[in-house]
């Protein structure tokens, strides 16, 4: 590879990579893009179907702060990322299991790789077209993947998945209030 190659996340990508099959351009309805981002989603229809199915599965298992980004313009290895979180390890596993089961049953998709099962603090499901990250709430705050992908277009998700936004903060506040009550502190 010559000097024309670009580096993406430490991986050299040739500038003449095979073009991605794309459907008609999609326009965002859920937010105003920043000046650095395009309004056009370039992820494939299959990727969008997988993301929506996975997002719905995560919401059904009470995941917090479900969000998806179209990373197809900046990464050649996948089209989209789905991020979700949960307040405990058991729920992280339950969300991942539901996503995996639903994608297999409804879309015939099996992950090519599953990482992070041992600790269940951050489990990654790689479906090639999409990558799903389900993190413990503490890891979600610490690693802040949203900051890495903030310039990528946010994908429209099912209503139930969008309703999960802010749940982690609500959960943390509720438990802080309960802990204060146990210690006899006033709110």
Count other Cβ atoms within 10 Å, centred on residue 136: 20
* Residues 83, 65 contacting (CB under 8 angstroms): yes
Phi then psi for 34, rounded to 5 degrees?
Answer: -75, 170
Interatomic CA distance for residues 169 and 167, integer angstroms: 5
Confidence grade of residue 117 (pLDDT, cut at 50, 70, 90): confident
pLDDT above 80 for 37 = no
How far, in Å, CA of 64 to CA of 163, rounded? 9
40 pLDDT band, cuts 50/70/90, is: confident
pLDDT digits (tens, 9 = 90+) for 50-78: 999 999 999 999 999 999 999 999 999 99
Axis crossing angle, helix 89-107 with helix 45-60, rounded to the nearest 10: 140
In Å, what is the CA distance from 160 to each residue of 68, 103, 169? 14, 17, 17
Domains detected in the chain = 38-182 (3.30.460.10)
Q: What is the pLDDT of residue 29?
A: 41
pLDDT at 154 over 80: yes
Does the pTM exceed 0.85? no
Helices (H), the chain: 45-60, 89-107, 137-143, 145-149, 159-162, 167-182
């Amino acid at each position: 590879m010559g000097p024309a190659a670009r580096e993406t996340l430490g991986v050299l990508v040739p500038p003449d990579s095979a073009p991605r099959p794309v459907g008609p351009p999609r326009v965002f309805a859920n937010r105003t893009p920043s000046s650095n981002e395009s309004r056009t989603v370039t992820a494939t229809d299959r990727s969008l179907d997988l993301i929506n199915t996975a997002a719905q599965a995560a919401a059904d298992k009470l995941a917090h702060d479900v969000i998806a980004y179209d990373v197809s313009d900046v990464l050649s290895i996948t089209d989209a990322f789905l991020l979700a979180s949960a307040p405990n390890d058991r729920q992280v596993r339950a969300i991942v299991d539901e996503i995996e089961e639903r994608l297999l049953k409804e879309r015939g998709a099996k992950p090519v790789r599953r990482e992070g099962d041992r600790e269940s603090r951050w489990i990654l499901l790689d479906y090639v077209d999409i990558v799903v990250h389900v993190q413990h709430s503490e890891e979600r705050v610490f690693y802040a993947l949203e900051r890495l992908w903030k310039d990528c277009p946010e994908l429209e998700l099912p209503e139930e998945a969008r309703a999960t936004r802010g749940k982690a903060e609500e959960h943390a506040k509720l438990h802080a209030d309960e802990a204060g009550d146990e210690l006899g502190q006033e709110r």
